[in-house]
Structure 1
């Protein structure tokens, strides 16, 4: 239809016109389109010497799909948006998505406590997935494991102290890396460029990490 979007047939006629040496204005006249439409179509799809009608049509369809607004999401529970936002932030910081989901579910639990069975049921995932996630969280200090002796099951707990412990665990790991870099610098020799590079990195990481640990200790009372 003249004035509407270009069809695949229109694009084939454009390609034929270019092959015949027609000007943009002449092709536009034959298709009953503005010359600017033809010029824009050709320039964004390979130019006069590289225009391919099938590829141009596919590219246009893909662009249209990307530009189509997503349908509005159904309203969920009040905490749903907050939960998804925290999960996305955790994923962007490097945490595996499943681990982030488990962590956030614990964070938003009223008492900060869940069993593995509760996590499996709530998140609709396998027990193995939950096990991997909580092991990561426990090792990183985000969560602690408590044993229920009466029912012989583990309970996973997140509390305010978890933030302190997670920072300290991460800091100690960074401090080990800093000191390994310093030791590597001594092995390579302080006069060699790679030795100097490692020495600078080790000194920087050690100083920053010690400052972080000191700050965590100083402000720990805020979590009480």
Structure 2
């Protein structure tokens, strides 16, 4: 792809794609190639608008309009505006980027976070592989790998309908996500207890490991009880 070497300003759609790419952990060079822009354009854009961790398309667009000496206007809209009661698709895109960024910050791998965010914002919670590829601007293999990992965590399931593969969020995905997190406590507990047995609890290190193991087992117990309580309350 030939880089655009002119001085044309970044569009709102480009800023939205930059925000989504940053949330997924992609670098400046990769983003620049996708947009057909010089890497320096992307790095300056991000640096002047909060940096990697705080970049938001809406704010960057408003700042650019202010710098251009004109009153910030409404964001570019689709030719057909959303019907009453429908969400603004550009606002939804911005939210998805921030939502995915939050998940990445909490330890979720970037592509898994982007797929989850895209599925959460659909009323049906159901998407096809082709829809995710088009929405996230990634390869089919990247989507397939992310969905496979989400399946292993019990957050989504797949089925074939109309000769297409569909990915669907479980209705109680919030409960499943919490219990999966609680189950990860077992690994901490088991390893800490193993270390205490190897080192011996008569030493400060052994006591530390033993206490760590007990802490994570008790924490898991409380997390599962709380999750079950609120699942029943919200059902």
TM-score by length of 2: 0.59
Task: Give the gaps of 5 or more residues in structure 1.
Answer: 1-64
* 2:64 maps to which of 52, 66, 71: 71
| Compared CA separation, residues 67 and 215, structure 1 to 2 (3 A) | closer
Query: Partners in 2 of 1:118 and 1:167 — Cα distance?
Result: 27
Query: Partners in 2 of 1:126 and 1:183 — Cα distance?
Result: 42
The aligned residue for residue 201 of structure 2 is 190
Query: Partners in 2 of 1:88 and 1:106 — Cα distance?
Result: 15
**Does the 8 Å contact 1:140/1:170 carry over to 2?**
no
Query: Partners in 2 of 1:106 and 1:137 — Cα distance?
Result: 12
Structure-to-structure mapping, 1:46-85, within 5 angstroms:
70-72=63-65, 74-75=75-76, 77-85=90-98
Q: Any idea what SS the aligned residue of 1:101 has?
A: helix
Task: Give the gaps of 5 or more residues in structure 2.
Answer: 1-45, 50-59, 66-71, 78-89
Query: Partners in 2 of 1:67 and 1:82 — Cα distance?
Result: 21
TM-score by length of 1: 0.62
Count of residues paired in the alignment: 159
* 1:129 maps to which of 142, 148, 159: 142
Query: Partners in 1 of 2:211 and 2:76 — Cα distance?
Result: 52
Query: Partners in 2 of 1:102 and 1:85 — Cα distance?
Result: 13
Q: Any idea what SS the aligned residue of 2:167 has?
A: strand
Query: Partners in 1 of 2:226 and 2:47 — Cα distance?
Result: 46
* 1:104 maps to which of 96, 100, 117: 117
1:148 aligned onto 2:141 = no
Query: Partners in 2 of 1:110 and 1:66 — Cα distance?
Result: 35
* 2:218 maps to which of 201, 207, 211: 207
Larger radius of gyration: 1
